[in-house]
Chains A and B, each alone.
Chain A
Amino acid sequence: MNTHQPVNIVMIEDDEGHARLIEKNIRRAGISNDIRHFTDGTSALHYLYHSPDGPALNGPALILLDLNLPDMSGTDILIRIKADDSPLRRTPVIVLTTTDDKVEIQRCYDLGANVYITKPVDYESFATAIRQLGLFLSVIQVPVIEPDA
């Protein structure tokens, strides 16, 4: 990832267990970036746009997004992030969810999702997928946020 400024990983995931498993496996892939975890959409959006240390005001970020949230749909957050006037529109969003519905996947890519991953129920596959995602995260280039964009 970018060397001059650390990239924060923002994980929006309502299931504590999933979050823990994802974090464990990302760490196992050798990713040591800071991971901020939010269990609901409202606090996640607040952090993304308004927090002084959030990505909109402070530095690049990468978002892991679950679609099934208690207070809003993950796609609503995706729409907010990828809107034309959003400062975070270039921020990579990785949708990581249990849904493998074809229509849902298409919709997420249409809305501007960068990667869509279905969480495998089988833990071996799950762990492998997350570890590979971690390896992927270690090589992708994240754009610098321009606050006045």
Chain B
Amino acid sequence: MLVFVSIGFLALIWAAGAAGWTVVRTQDHARWVEHTYEVEQRISSLRVLVERLEVARRGYLLSHHPISKQTFVETIAQEPGLIADVRRLTADNPTQQARIGLVERLVARQFRLQSASMALADRDPAAAITAFDQDSSLGLTRSLRMLTDAMRADENRLLVLRIAAQRDTVRNLFAILTGFGALAIAVAVFSIMVLRRYTRSLVEARDAERTLAAELEDRVRARTYELSRANDEIQRFAYIVSHDLRSPLVNVMGFTGELEAAARPLAALIDRIEAEAPHLMDADAATAAREDLPESIGFIRTSTQKMDRLINAILRLSREGKRVMTPEPIDLPELIDGIVATLQHRLDELGATVTIERPMPGLVADRLAVEQMLSNLIENAVKYLQPGRPGRITLSARANRDRVTIDIADNGRGIDPRDHDRIFDLFRRSGQQDQPGEGIGLAHVRALAYRLGGLIDCRSALGEGATFSLALPAKPAASQG
């Protein structure tokens, strides 16, 4: 394509050159035509001069009038100049040069004849007239006439040729100009076509890219919307379930308490029987009242207490999920500084450091939610450091399209890749259970992230630290208000 356009433009340049050259040629031809006219004019003048000299001599012979002699002298003075002009102008033409040489000689002979005849006329007019009839001047004049006629004819021939040549070059010029115009139009049309094709493919590519990006964005949005809806559903479900679970639990714990209270007088009775009437003593009854009943009640109690803690955790989580989010601009480094300050004491104890990579992109979101998520993630990083290795926790954030991703990276004990999904589930924990906790923190972080239309992700290998990436919308979507 481009090659054709280049060829087109080269042809245009060539055509412009040709047109220019033809214009120069045309001017050349015009000069030659002008030159021929000039030569012709000089030859005619010479012819007139020759005639006038003869007329002047004849007039003098007849009338002896001094005016005629005067005319003769004046006319003869112009002769050498004219001859020289013709010779100079026809320098390129050998035929004309030969002829002008002959003319010069004839003119010189005629001048001699004429001056002799006029001098004789001064002395003896009659003899002069007689001599005139016999001298060869008539023949000379005729020869000069023929010569100048031949020269003029020659020049005329040249003139016709040169005019024809000039017409040809003009015609050529027009042809070249027409061709040039056609070529210019063709090149222009072709160039426009090429440009349009290129532009169209560019526009198509750009549109395609835009559509693709929009589709991707829509898909992400739809996905996060689904996630946040599913999250809402789970929150409601969790609230109802935990609520309804509490009711039977009140009974279990209540009647366990009653049972315990009822077991006490029974145990006292066994003690009294043992003391006052040992023969009534039954070993099984004693074991039941003293050991089995308190043990069973103890297990029921600890289990129900644990269940109560778990239900309360679900309830807290679902209650947090129902909280109205109020987005506001957040200065991330400042917020993280605040979280780190609350942990400073523990960090000093452990000899761990937290690095915050500034600057961080701007974020508009619910401050409390972001603070809780980051604080949970940083606390986890501090909690699960590798013993014997100085803790290094790095926080960084980057903006990517309309999302802000915050990375919390540590060099702690790491998480088995098999557990990467599990750790975000409620009550699920990973690795050695040597730290206190109910397995609620990360579930809480994920629930909040979904709620804000974000995502949480974990990259880690056992013993090699972990990086949690929290991706949040830079601005809340319109539907979230």
Contact = CB atoms under 8 A, between A and B. Distances in A.
Interface of A: 15, 17-18, 21, 24, 68, 98-99, 101, 119, 121-124, 126-127
Interface in B246-285: 246-251, 253-258
Count class of interface residues, chain B = 10 to 19
B251 A15 contact: yes
B456 to A, nearest CB: 27
A15 B247 contact: yes
B366 interface: no
Given A121-B249, A121-B308, A122-B308, A21 B254 contact: yes
Interface string B317-330: 00100000000000
A123 B257 CA distance: 6
A119 B246 CA distance: 9
B254 A123 contact: yes
Given A68-B247, A98-B246, A17 B255 contact: yes
B250 A119 contact: yes
Contact of A122 (B243, B248, B253): B253
Counting from the closest, the 4 A-B pairs by CB-CB distance are A17-B251, A123-B257, A21-B254, A123-B253
Nearest to B247: A98
Interface string B223-249: 000000000000000000001101111
A21 B250 contact: yes
A68 B257 CA distance: 24
Contact of B250 (A18, A24, A101, A124): A18
Given A17-B254, A121-B249, 9 more contacts: A17-B250, A18-B250, A18-B251, A21-B255, A24-B258, A98-B246, A121-B250, A122-B305, A127-B257
B247 A18 contact: yes
Interface string B62-106: 000000000000000000000000000000000000000000000
B246 A124 contact: no
Given A98-B243, A98-B246, A124 B251 contact: no
A126 B247 contact: no
Contacts of A123: 250, 253-254, 256-257
A125 B247 CA distance: 15
A49 to B, nearest CB: 27
Contact of A21 (B248, B251, B319): B251
Nearest to A123: B257
Interface string B293-334: 000000000000100100100000001000000000000000
Interface string B368-384: 00000000000000000
